[in-house]
Structure 1
Amino acid sequence: MKSPIGYRSAVSVGMRCCACALGATLWLSGCAVGPDYHQPAVAIPTQFKEAGTQWRLAAPNPQASLSTRWWDAYDDPELSRLVHAALQSNQSIAGAAAAYRLAQATVAADRASLFPTLGVDASASHSSSTTAEYAKAYASWEVDLWGAVRRQIESGKANAQSADATLAGERLSIAATLATDYFDIRQLDIDIDLLRQQEAVNGRILAITRTALAQGTASQVDLLYAQDTQEAVVANLQISQTSREQDEHAIAVLTGVPPASLSIAPRLDYVFREPEVPSVLPSALLERRPDVVSAERTAAAANALIGVEKAAFFPDLDLRAQGLVQHNTFATLFSLPTRMWSLGPSLAATLFDGGARVAAVHKAQATYDEDVASYREAVLTAFQNVEDSLSSLNHLRQQEHAFADIYQRNRQLLESVAAQLTAGTASEQSDLTQQVTLLTARQNLNDTQGALAKSGVGLVKNLGGGWMSSKS
């Protein structure tokens, strides 16, 4: 039976031998070829065009705590519960998390290349008179003279940070998509109820028109118009119901469950909330936007790979050590007279490669230039997205005020027509027509309020995750 102590001793001998080689060559490995990374410059505006003078960039405030639970500002427990479920169970997030772990493992594997490789092999031979035990230990180390491994690690770290930002972006995107679908459901809840009321009122108008046609006080055109109006409401009702069902299915998938497993009860009394946007926001908001961070880190990774390719122009130094020990008594297996070690460096360099290394460097430099352009494009797109959100919010607020005024005026008109109906100076059909007009005005107001809520979610997403100070 082989002694496990023998294996450990052989490894110890190999480690001591490699330690000597390490000390002899460590001073050579202080340099790293290739350009050091500097974050590419980008143009940052001093204010947002669509915000006028009321909403501009402020100086960064590192002490300001920015909440990642931006959905809590809507004060809707059901929305918060659904977002939490999505962040825990969504499969796109799970995939992005796996990609981040893979990037971290790649960094660990690259870092291992900085250290020697040690091993041991043991065997035994038997004869009629003796039993000889052999233990062969070996060690090798490719010295990172020109920093190729360190640049590879640098690139791997930047890629891992990019993957981390991608994960954060996926979480933000899933939460924003869910919130948008949720507000769409709440908007449709009220729309469906209003359309059903319109269907009932239009049904009564159609019946009155048929009676009037039979009595000769209405024309066939009046009947056709009443029928078309009723059918249009029925068609819109089907569209709204389909949209609500599909939004519910989408939320189920976002939360990681089959559509049949999730039902969201209608809320006819739902009130849309719009979190107050401060007049001044720190510029750090856009700096933390995940896609911008990911693009910048990708450029950093590409920059490090230029050094990796440039290091190929220089020779590689490979240190190898191996030893063989032999004895027929385990107790003295690793005593000095039985140890035989050899240590030898190997210096290897490519003399001719047909321009492959030059092409590899040019390829790495072009990749870096492409990634820098993508980063700058991501920054420009981020500002465009914020401007678009601000523009949408500005016009939707004015639209909401207009529809609110229209709704209030039509309430007053309905009260007036109802009074005339009671006094006998207005017909039932006039009263019903005004009811339809009021329901339409209420639907327009509701749709605008829902659009405002969804546009607010869009602003949160475009800023990289909200602006509300964390209470927790």
Structure 2
Amino acid sequence: MNQRLLMLAACVALGACALGPDGKPPAMPQPAHYGAQPQTDASVAAEGASQRFVAGAKPVPEWWKLYRSDALNALVDEGLRASPNLAAADKSLVAAREQLRAQIGSSLLPQIDAGAQATRQRGFGIPEAGPPTVLYNLFVGQLQAQYTFDLFGAARYANAALAAQVDQQAFQLDAARRALAANIVTGAIGAASLHSQIDVTERLIALANDDAHDAQRRYALGSASRTEMLNAQQNAASLAAQLPGLRAQWLATRHALAVLLGRTPDQAPDDLDLASLALPSDVPVVLPSALLQTRPDIQAADAALKAAAAQVGVATAQLFPSLSISASMGKGGFDWPTALSGAGALWSVGASLSQPIFHGGALLAQRRASIAMYDAAVAQYKETVLSAFQNVANTLASLETDSEALAFADSASSAARDASVDAAARVRLGAIPPRAARGSEQQYLNARLSTIRASSARMSDTAALFQAMGSPVAAGASVAQARDDKR
């Protein structure tokens, strides 16, 4: 009896011990600032606006509303509501949660089944006792129960691994939702920018055609050389050749935006007016330590790490004994009266204990494989965190350079616009020929193209920074649901 008590105590103690890593993420370095250079407090003022980088601020929910465009808000809301990609990911998460419930119920609770059997059989009898063959009926009804004791936590570790995988899938859905919002914003900005560039390019082509026609007339009159005429025609044709590519890019952007919204490409939304979008004045710069909790890709890597740690526990627990009990009770007989009477009572109780002894090294190999997978998950977590830091650093740097580029482009555009206005006034006074005014307007329009590109880049990179900071999007209850299922 004492030996049995000692063995039972040893089993309980082993079952209480952790058979795998704790799954805590490794400590990561916390940089003083994201990039190679310290972050500035504010960007360069361009087009009359600058952005303030608020260090230590929290991510902004529904950040796209800071652009102050009802049309843009409607597009994002429609995409989050109607995107088939999000719908598929959401239903996959629902299925994963149900699979988790099924596994928990089948592994931690007893299994009870009811069965009934009615057969008519022909068998061989005993020659001395009766006919050589016998026809008889058999009626059996039973309740069967089975339960496997989770002595060393194999089932609990398996459930923890699946729950962590559900968490990972929920975080991935959250990341997809945030990426969709950012892609809709950048797609709408890109389409508006390309629309404006097409308008400016069409005006440039019209001016170039006027120059070509003017050069042709002057060549016919002998006041211009053939080379001058051909150069003007070449310039007009070169500008016209740029327009199809711009239109193709514009249409592709609109088609992609329509699909993001859950529409067919022929139902692409109307372009926004780029000038109607307000630049968000304050953008959050989350502390590196807080970024680990705000970005869903890092949280998904953390969940994958926990799943890998639990798998080590599963592989380790398979090396220890397994204890199962089973019981059944019911009625049986060769006819219904006998089966329903006390004489037809059937019952059985049993227990089985198994201990792996020799499996050709398979169990130990599986454990080593799970440990290697855990080490890989640790390295993947580190890589995800470092990539997140890099993403934020690159986005901040791009936003700063966008502001500088826009400031220079806007200055050049303003100077070219004033020169064009002066040239038009001089043409009206007869001081210079009309082609000089057209040349001045062309310089202004080329400068305007640079301004449009720089302005849209700053708008798009602002959206990218909000996404990089882990700004939350609505309908984020999936992770909490998964954690409740885990408990």
Same fold (TM over 0.5): yes
Match of 1:264 in 2: 269
* SS of residue matched to 1:270: helix
Q: Residue type matched to 1:87 in 2?
A: L
Match of 1:440 in 2: 446
Deviations 1:334-358 (A, max 9, x none): 97x8644322210012211111111
Deviations 1:408-460 (A, max 9, x none): 11122122222322332211111111011111111211111111111111112
Q: Is the 2:283–2:466 contact (alpha carbons within 8 Å) kept by the matching residues of 1?
A: no
- Where do residues 358-369 of structure 1 align in structure 2 (5 Å cutoff)? 358-369=364-375
- Where do residues 215-230 of structure 1 align in structure 2 (5 Å cutoff)? 215-230=221-236
1:168 aligns with 2:155: no
1:120 aligns with 2:106: no
1:39 aligns with 2:7: no
TM-superposed CA distance for 1:377, in Å, is: 0.4
- Pairs aligned (count): 435
1:325 aligns with 2:331: yes
Change (3 A) 1:269 1:30: closer
Deviations 1:12-56 (A, max 9, x none): xxxxxxxxxxxxx99996555323222221112122235525357
1:97 aligns with 2:90: yes
Change (3 A) 1:267 1:166: closer
Match of 2:432 in 1: 426
Q: Is the 1:31–1:147 contact (alpha carbons within 8 Å) kept by the matching residues of 2?
A: no
Counterpart-to-counterpart distance in 2, 1:255 and 1:464: 22
- Where do residues 265-304 of structure 1 align in structure 2 (5 Å cutoff)? 265-267=270-272, 270-278=275-283, 281-282=286-287, 283-304=289-310
Match of 1:52 in 2: 39
Match of 1:188 in 2: 194
Counterpart-to-counterpart distance in 2, 1:245 and 1:278: 31
From 350, 372, 375, the equivalent of 1:344 is: 350
* SS of residue matched to 1:391: helix
Counterpart-to-counterpart distance in 1, 2:63 and 2:117: 65
* SS of residue matched to 1:318: strand
1:245 aligns with 2:251: yes
Q: Is the 2:323–2:353 contact (alpha carbons within 8 Å) kept by the matching residues of 1?
A: yes
Q: Is the 2:34–2:390 contact (alpha carbons within 8 Å) kept by the matching residues of 1?
A: no
From 459, 462, 469, the equivalent of 1:453 is: 459
Change (3 A) 1:393 1:102: same
Change (3 A) 1:268 1:201: farther
Greater shift, 45-54 or 142-151, is seen at 45-54
Deviations 1:368-389 (A, max 9, x none): 1111111110110011111111
Change (3 A) 1:194 1:154: same
1:233 aligns with 2:220: no
Greater shift, 117-126 or 393-402, is seen at 117-126
1:388 aligns with 2:425: no
Counterpart-to-counterpart distance in 2, 1:417 and 1:437: 12
TM-superposed CA distance for 1:280, in Å, is: 5.1
Q: Residue type matched to 2:25 in 1?
A: Q
1:377 aligns with 2:383: yes
Counterpart-to-counterpart distance in 1, 2:156 and 2:462: 44
Counterpart-to-counterpart distance in 1, 2:350 and 2:17: 23
Q: Residue type matched to 1:277 in 2?
A: D
* SS of residue matched to 2:279: coil
* SS of residue matched to 1:149: helix
Q: Is the 2:69–2:276 contact (alpha carbons within 8 Å) kept by the matching residues of 1?
A: no
Counterpart-to-counterpart distance in 1, 2:268 and 2:114: 62
Match of 2:73 in 1: 80
Match of 2:123 in 1: none
Q: Is the 1:322–1:341 contact (alpha carbons within 8 Å) kept by the matching residues of 2?
A: yes
Counterpart-to-counterpart distance in 1, 2:438 and 2:401: 32
TM-superposed CA distance for 1:114, in Å, is: 0.9
Q: Is the 2:403–2:458 contact (alpha carbons within 8 Å) kept by the matching residues of 1?
A: yes
Counterpart-to-counterpart distance in 2, 1:369 and 1:266: 49
TM-score normalised to structure 1 length: 0.84
From 410, 423, 427, the equivalent of 1:404 is: 410
Greater shift, 306-315 or 338-347, is seen at 338-347
Greater shift, 306-315 or 412-421, is seen at 412-421
Change (3 A) 1:287 1:221: farther
Counterpart-to-counterpart distance in 2, 1:279 and 1:172: 16
Counterpart-to-counterpart distance in 2, 1:51 and 1:453: 22
Q: Residue type matched to 1:42 in 2?
A: M
TM-superposed CA distance for 1:149, in Å, is: 0.5
Counterpart-to-counterpart distance in 1, 2:119 and 2:450: 93
Match of 1:11 in 2: none
* SS of residue matched to 1:273: coil
TM-superposed CA distance for 1:81, in Å, is: 1.8
Q: Is the 2:296–2:470 contact (alpha carbons within 8 Å) kept by the matching residues of 1?
A: yes
Percent identical: 27
TM-superposed CA distance for 1:276, in Å, is: 2.2
TM-score normalised to structure 2 length: 0.82
Greater shift, 295-304 or 101-110, is seen at 101-110
Change (3 A) 1:204 1:361: same
Change (3 A) 1:28 1:441: closer
Counterpart-to-counterpart distance in 2, 1:276 and 1:151: 48
